[in-house]
Structure 1
Amino acid sequence: MSVSVVLSGVFHVRSRAGEALVGPGALLLGNPGAPYEYRHVDEGGDRSVVFECSDALLEDGLRALGLRVRGTPVFERVCVPASAESAQAVMLAQRALEHDETEEAALAVLDAALTLGRAEEEGTAVASDNQARRVAQVLRYIEAHAAEDCALETLASVAGLTAFHFLRVFRAMTGQTPRQYVIATRLRMAAASLRLTRARVTDVALEVGFGDLSHFTTSFTRAFGVSPRAYRARARG
């Protein structure tokens, strides 16, 4: 069994569990004996880190979560979309590449995959190559401009669709709303800034696109389990 953490890029992925368009922050879920396949929908490339899970570790993870899987796929989804809930695991995976600290990252990624990859979701699908390219363009736009105006109307304009049509297409292809994706991206940016800079927490919040410090603190604490200040202290400890 494997879990791949997407760090950059956009591509279409498909497995027996379904299909989706994924971008940075997503977790690709590979059931034992049932790998996924993927293809790029634009020329931007991608970067991912893959965690292979042994049978013993998988059993331990399932047991810890009170789950037992016999004769059925471990994962019921092809991927876990980028979200506030998976942001901590993604940041640890990024840190593992930078500092060769893989054990904690592997456990966090497995926990997120088992917790979030078990629940059935509304089916995601890529309706056409043209729509896939439009949404891929938006995902790359968000990654480059997350701290700027990412209102629904702005993103719909980037896609060249009406707001109503864009919202439906984006959710169908990614399994989440544009707002959820933007918040997840901003939280990952904030976590990186807290680790790598000495900027004030207020400044970090503003720099990544949160206009309200209270909203930032609440969202960050919910995603990472600790406040921004505590996260910085722990990352540097």
Structure 2
Amino acid sequence: MSTPLRRLRAYLDMALIDHGILRHYWTSLQRISPQMWRSNQPGPGRIAKAAQMGVKTIVNLRGRRPSGTYALEAEACAKHGLALMDFSIGSREPPRKVALKAAREMFGTIAYPALMHCKSGADRVGFMSVFYLFAHEGVPLGEAQKHLSLRFGHVRQGKTGVLDYFWDNYAARHAETGIDFWDWVEREYDPEAMKSAFMSQWWANILVDRILNRE
């Protein structure tokens, strides 16, 4: 963004292509613990406010990508002294074991307080809110799962419901055997089998994929 024209293109990309104009009116910002906030994709102004609130790290669950939105986010984080952690995770398939282990390491090393986000603030950040609260802070799973819900725009009947299915499967096995989460991940969890077993509903897929146009 070395020229005014490139900066204008970046803002247009964020506002129109990436639907940032909608996020101007609905941020989904919520503090889920004393050390963690969640939201949808923040623009430069919201990143500045996050810095004022004491946030030290932005966790970008969309991953590093060639877009105006990302360029503006990276620039704003650098300007306000925030660390930007790019962590890519999907919304329509169970997380890979390597991603779960990487998330554990990330939450154990980043500077807090932190704010994590995806695009819409519903699915990926909902899943990672559950993960953070349960696997990092030790919050009971049932309580943590409230952060992956329709309240935040998450539709569990669609393909994105595979994220709920992941937690429901572990909860069932824990209730049956008392198995520890990380033991379950190492010894029993099969992402491909879980993906094949999960069944979404057609109407919810239309809502999530075509009407809401979720990433």
TM-score, length basis structure 2? 0.32
Structure (1 or 2) with the greater strand fraction = 1
TM-score, length basis structure 1? 0.30
